[in-house]
Amino acid sequence: MKKLINSKERMPDDMIDGFVAAYPGIVARGQNPRVVCRAHPKDRDAKVTLLIGNGCGHEPIAMGFVGSGLLDANVVGDVFAAPSPDLILEGIREVTGKAGAVLLISRHEGDVINGNAAAMMAEDENLSVQPLLMYDDISSAPKGSEDERRGAAGTIFVYKILGAAAETGMRLDDLVTLGEDVRSRTRTLAAAVAPGISPLTGAPMFSLPDDEIYIGMGVHGEPGVGRRKVGPVRDLVAFMLSELLEDRPIAPNTPTVVLVNGSGGTTQMELLTVFNEVAQGLEKLNIPRVSPMIGSFSTTQEMAGFSISLLTPTPQMLDLWQAPQSTPNFPAIHKGTRA
């Protein structure tokens, strides 16, 4: 395995050093070197802060989304390991003012355990912090058990919409309600093509025969989700789209935001091909699409694959999704609609 690193131990810190050196007008290190925050924070007694802790190795998420109109801070754990509750608490302390904070938690074991523990510790210090669990991956738990699902790329909708809403001065409770509403309108399904290499062990993170694709994360007992042979991407996307729409049907003429996320080792050429198939599939159903996002934003090293996320936004959510932001890595969202 070839990885461009100095040492396993230094990976996260070397990366953060590079990040803050590259974007000094937008982001800065907090007092704790694993806290990345805005270089020019707003008045924290007036604006609710939005932060998340997560293991690194998935860049540009979440560090790359720190900046005006989006996150106030990201607490960076080790590679693929949620930061400790103690570290998340330090991040909360650094950015939380009288307006309070939303602690986003993408639903993965370590993130949930350590995030909830940190929020409890923050409450003990009289900081006003509300944790918000994010989950959207339909393959990780069946319909009816939505709150047992994992957070996947569709969590990006929650980041962006809450980030823009907080910027307009929305209050803490309203932000949490809005975030829950975005979550309930979001669904994601992923397909893996080839494993990423863990920089910790140097080994592939799963195995998959050359001619197979893996849909979802392989939870058993869910018909239709699992391995399938590589074929034309059209068939693969049609299958994934039908799974998504079966889980959460979308009525004709409902504006829908499509996010096609690459997992690190899949080219933009392939992602645009996937998007084209999604677009055609939605067109057949008379589902108009608005303001898509296409690229590799939530990655797992050089893992090849992609996910499709669908959001049916309210008009308010759509405005917030399209609102300008200034972060190192979040792309501009274009308004263009096409029925």
Partner 1 sequence: MNQTFLLHLVSRFEQLEARLNQLDAATGDGDHGGTILKGMRAAAATPDAPVVAFRKAAGGASGSLFSLLIGALEQAENDSSTLGDALATAARKISQLGQARAGDKTMLDALLPAAAAANADPANPAAAAAEAARRGAEATKPMQAKRGRAKYVEGGGVGHLDAGAFSVAEILTQFSKEHGEQP
Residues annotated as catalytic are 58, 220
212 near partner 1 (CB under 8 A): no
Q: How far is CA 246 from CA 78, 129, 257, in A?
A: 37, 35, 17
Q: Which of 98, 5, 133 is nearest to 57 (CA)?
A: 5
One of 62, 82, 101, 215 touching partner 1 (CB under 8 A): 82
Q: How far is the CB of 19 from partner 1 (least distance, A)?
A: 19
Which residue stretch of 91-99, 182-190, 193-201, 302-310 sits at the interface with partner 1 (rule: CB under 8 A)? 193-201
Helical packing angle, 172-184 and 315-322, nearest 10°: 100
- Across the beta sheet with 35-38, the strand order is 27-29, 35-38, 73-79, 49-56, 101-106, 129-134
Is the CB of residue 19 less than 8 Å from the CB of residue 329?
A: no
Distance from C-alpha of 239 to C-alpha of 232, rounded to nearest angstrom: 11
Q: How far is CA 272 from CA 215, 235, 266, 334, in A?
A: 19, 15, 11, 16
205 or 233, CB closer to partner 1? Answer: 205
136 near partner 1 (CB under 8 A): no
338 near partner 1 (CB under 8 A): no
CA angle, corner 113, sides to 88 and 69, nearest 5? 45
Q: How far is the CB of 204 from partner 1 (least distance, A)?
A: 9
Q: How far is the CB of 218 from partner 1 (least distance, A)?
A: 4
Q: How far is the CB of 117 from partner 1 (least distance, A)?
A: 6
Q: Which two tokens stand for residue 93?
A: 């302390």
Q: How many residues sit close enough to partner 1 to count as binding (CB under 8 A)?
A: 32
Which residue stretch of 39-47, 63-71, 106-114, 290-298 sits at the interface with partner 1 (rule: CB under 8 A)? 106-114
150 near partner 1 (CB under 8 A): yes
89 or 170, CB closer to partner 1? Answer: 89
Q: Is the dihedral of CA 108, 109, 112, 118 positive or negative?
A: negative
299 near partner 1 (CB under 8 A): no
Which residue stretch of 182-190, 200-208, 240-248, 307-315 sits at the interface with partner 1 (rule: CB under 8 A)? 200-208
| DSSP string computed for 54-94 | EEESSTTTTGGGBSBTSBSEEEEEEETSPPPHHHHHHHHHH
Q: How far is the CB of 187 from partner 1 (least distance, A)?
A: 17
14 or 319, CB closer to partner 1? Answer: 14
Q: Which residues bind partner 1 (CB under 8 A)?
A: 55, 77-87, 108-110, 113-114, 116-117, 140, 150, 198, 200-201, 203, 205-206, 217-220, 226
